[in-house]
Amino acid sequence: MQVSAMEQTILDLTAPAKGILAADESTGTMEKRLKNVGVQSTKETRRSYRESLFTSPGLNNYISGVILFEETLNQRSESDVPLPQLLSAQGIVPGIKVDKGTQALSNFPGDKWTQGLDGLSERLAGYKELGACFAKWRAVFTIGDGIPSYPVISVNAESLARYAAICQSLDIVPIVEPEVLMDGNHTIERCASVTEQVLETVFHCLHKHRVVLEHMLLKPNMVLPGKDCSQQATPEEIAVATLRCFCRTIPVAVPGINFLSGGQSDEAATANLNAINVCAGQKPWQLSFSYGRALQAPALKAWHGEAANQKAGQQALLKRARLNSLARQGKYHTNMENE
């Protein structure tokens, strides 16, 4: 039986022991991160940094796909090779972030909705010609007094579903990213309640828009207490709360769940992913990672904008990718951080 383009992309992205590198930071976000290591953010420094990441020797042992920002999708390497081709030549699938960021809603203080549906079909067709095989759309939900409100959960879920349906109409695999933020002092129980409501609404909308669940990936938050909560949770407690929530809300047809790191430290994101996989047993989904800062932060610090530090930056990235690969298999231990 012939495998469709989306089926092949799913198989590639969910390859055993591998995860997805999120390198789709906006120009504004990259400016902040480069500034933190004393590097001026220019089109060239952003290209140089990302090319260094993508050419890390052996990256394809741990990374199955990379989410790109639009600027990066259009850039070429120092040797004049399109950056998406650098990835695909290694068997790493290029993808693209397609949402246009969030906007506050005046009637719902603290709530935000994600923009970018206008002209999405045309943009996706262009991205596909440049080599993108999958896409990503992020919606964010803040926990606070009276928020997230149901109307905002509903409108974001509707946008995620419309985006996913448009992607699949063009044979592009959609990554659906509903993120309940860590910001705040809420308990793990409150996070579980909100995450469950968000996921229930998202999958209701996906079903309504006839999105083929077997041809999509989910990129959710883990169920965590707020970063300012007085009672933090162990990796085992996070694993139990997360899996309970997922069993209640996520259909078994979804082939893969790639967690976002969402502001967790590098080590915490790895330890929590490991605990989830240890606890999961024979759950129906692939439970992997799609980390940005939790993979890149050590690499950026080691690189520091200097060509002479390229190898050190690549080694830092490979270490975190390898540790998260082990965590995706439930084989990580904190002692490995010092190896």
Q: What is the dihedral of CA 273, 278, 282, 287, to 10 degrees?
A: 10
Of 233, 316, 324, the residue nearest 277 (C-alpha): 324
**What SS3 string covers 48-85?**
HHHHHHHCCCCHHHCEEEEEECHHHHCCECCCCCEHHH
From CA 81, how far away is CA 303, in angstroms rounded? Answer: 22
Active-site entry in 25, 51, 70, 177: 177
Active site residue 227: no
* Tokens standing for residue 3: 């495998």
The answer to whether 286 and 257 have CB atoms below 8 angstroms apart is yes
Rg (CA), the chain: 19
* Tokens standing for residue 212: 């083929």
Q: Which amino acid is at 61?
A: N
DSSP assignment string, 302-318: HHTT-GGGHHHHHHHHH
From CA 113, how far away is CA 103, in angstroms rounded? Answer: 6
Active site residue 306: no
Active-site entry in 18, 97, 136, 219: 219
Q: What is the dihedral of CA 174, 55, 34, 274, to 10 degrees?
A: 60
The residues annotated with a catalytic role in the active site are 177, 219
